[in-house]
Amino acid sequence: VTSCLVNPRACHETKMPILPAVQKKNLAVVGAGPAGLAFAINAAARGHQVTLFDAHSEIGGQFNIAKQIPGKEEFYETLRYYRRMIEVTGVTLKLNHTVTADQLQAFDETILASGIVPRTPPIDGIDHPKVLSYLDVLRDKAPVGNKVAIIGCGGIGFDTAMYLSQPGESTSQNIAGFCNEWGIDSSLQQAGGLSPQGMQIPRSPRQIVMLQRKASKPGQGLGKTTGWIHRTTLLSRGVKMIPGVSYQK
């Protein structure tokens, strides 16, 4: 069954109906990322009193990182939706607020949705100044050189590669630019709707190599409907993908 990244009820509406709460409670939600946001507005819609805490200055959690990835600009609209629904459902939002255990004692229930932190692999030299985490790059805007090795070919590795290999502005929200890159004849004059010059995906401004320990195809665990797009884009940009490696130092 299809599911949604941010709407747990999608395709499960009959199993998860929004019904008025039999016993209304005073709830604390810690973390205003997608999980905390989804819980907060649905709980408030059922009649609970909800206070949503986050230590940062804006809602979204790591969605604020993901929305910067070329092709994921629609996440800006997801966060706009949640900001509006917080107002509509009456959720009390407390940003720039690191909640304490003593403060949580005043609530009937506490829901933890505080997210994750990056895992640091145990590789000799991982603390070298040239080694950056994806948060260093995407959130903190650490400078990145022209030759890049990315450890890991999962979703975060692909997102980071898409970000670092993007030459100029993303065309995902630009119809003419998108059609040009993917070889689509927007005039519908060519057979199959394909442009005679084919795809025109520009090369990456950086030399990027993606590495993974598994011997399987890089990106095999990506979404079935979009994984091939990410692989095609990166390969067309000149990004190299090497499976079956081992990390020594």
Res 240 pLDDT > 70: yes
Confidence band (pLDDT; 50, 70, 90) for 27?
very high
Distance CA 240, CA 42 (A): 43
The predicted model gives 88-106 an average pLDDT of 97
pLDDT tens across 29-64, in order? Answer: 999 999 999 999 999 999 999 999 999 999 999 999
User: Looking at the domain 134-167+202-242, which fold is it?
Assistant: FAD/NAD(P)-binding domain (3.50.50)
Distance CA 233, CA 230 (A): 5
DSSP label at residue 192: G
The predicted model gives 145-174 an average pLDDT of 95
Confidence band (pLDDT; 50, 70, 90) for 182?
very high
Dihedral, CA of residue 4, residue 79, residue 99 and residue 56, to nearest 10: 130
pLDDT value of residue 57:
96
pLDDT tens across 121-134, in order? Answer: 899 999 999 999 99
Strand (E) or helix (H) holding 210: strand 207-211
pLDDT value of residue 2:
75
Res 107 pLDDT > 80: yes
Res 223 pLDDT > 90: no
The predicted model gives 133-162 an average pLDDT of 96
Q: Are 33 and 67 in contact (CB under 8 A)?
A: no
Ordered by start, the domain boundaries in the chain are: 26-112, 134-167+202-242
Res 11 pLDDT > 70: yes
Residue written as tokens 């649905």? 42
- Number of other residues whose CB lies within 10 A of the CB of residue 218: 24
Confidence band (pLDDT; 50, 70, 90) for 8?
confident
Task: Name the 3-class secondary structure at 228.
Answer: helix
Residue written as tokens 């100029």? 168
Q: Using alpha carbons, select from 228, 233, 206, 204 the residue that is nearest to residue 217.
A: 228
Q: What percent of the chain has pLDDT over 70?
A: 100
pLDDT value of residue 3:
79
The CATH classification of domain 26-112, taken from the options 3.40.50.2300, 3.40.50.720, 3.20.20.70, 3.40.50.1000: 3.40.50.720
| Higher pLDDT, residue 186 or 82 | 82
pLDDT value of residue 1:
66
Task: Write a three-state SS string for the chain.
Answer: CCCCCCCCCCCCCCCCCCCCCCCCCEEEEECCCHHHHHHHHHHHHCCCEEEEECCCCCCCCCHHHHCCCCCCCCHHHHHHHHHHHHHHHCCEEECCCCCCHHHHCCCCEEEECCCCCCCCCCCCCCCCCCCCCHHHHHCCCCCCCCEEEEECCCHHHHHHHHHHHCCCCCCCCCHHHHHHHCCECCCCCCHHHECCCCCCCCCCCCEEEEECCCCCCCCCCCCCCCHHHHHHHHHHCCCEEECCCCCCC
Res 76 pLDDT > 80: yes
Distance CA 4, CA 39 (A): 14
